[in-house]
Amino acid sequence: MNQSSNNKPVYDLEERTFLFAKNIRTSLRKLKKDSFNQDDIKQLIRSSGSVGANYIEANESLSKKDFIHRVKISRKEAKESIYWIRLLIAFSNTDEKNSLEVLLQKSTELKKILSSIIEKSQK
């Protein structure tokens, strides 16, 4: 988060999506891995990184239609991240659940922000 000239916070969504993917990876390193959750962890790593990668692509798009399409993909990946986090929460111990629930909140916030961008861009 940066400060604008009038001291209001400016949120950089590219940076926020990067930090989301970074926080996912940091939390998953602490998670006990077994054959049961290994695939869920891999899927979450992929989808969480894809949120930001697709948002960056959206910002580089050449048309409004392409921008909306890529933001929709980014939102889809945020929704997929929510799914994998929920699965990991369902089978985690109490300590692990706490950090995963924070990630669930962050992914839900990103999904809502992306939905808002799509809605405003389609007007």
- The CATH number covering residue 112 comes to 1.20.1440.60
pTM for the model: 0.88
Q: Is residue 10 part of a domain?
A: no
Mean pLDDT of the chain: 90
Contact 13, 54 (CB under 8 A): no
pLDDT at position 9, please?
A: 46
Cα separation, 56 vs 85, in Å, equals 23
Q: Is residue 61 part of a domain?
A: yes
Contact 14, 69 (CB under 8 A): no
What's the half-sphere exposure (Cβ side, CA atoms, 13 Å) at 89? Answer: 15
Section 67-82 average pLDDT: 98
Q: Is residue 27 part of a domain?
A: no
- Structural domain count of the chain: 1
- Which residues, 6 or more positions from 92, have their beta carbon under 8 angstroms from its beta carbon? 31, 100
Q: Provide the residue range defining the domain that includes 88.
A: 16-21+33-121
Q: Is residue 7 part of a domain?
A: no
pLDDT at position 8, please?
A: 43
Residue 88: both structure tokens together:
């990991």
- Which residues, 6 or more positions from 40, have their beta carbon under 8 angstroms from its beta carbon? 84, 87, 88
First to last CA, the chain: 27
Q: Is residue 87 part of a domain?
A: yes
Q: Is residue 3 part of a domain?
A: no
Section 100-110 average pLDDT: 97
Tens-digit pLDDT profile for residues 30-43 = 998 888 899 999 99
Q: Is residue 26 part of a domain?
A: no
Q: Is residue 28 part of a domain?
A: no
Section 95-102 average pLDDT: 91
Cα separation, 27 vs 119, in Å, equals 32
Residue 89: both structure tokens together:
């929460």
pLDDT at position 33, please?
A: 86
Residue ranges of the alpha helices (H) in 1-123?
13-30, 38-59, 64-90, 94-121
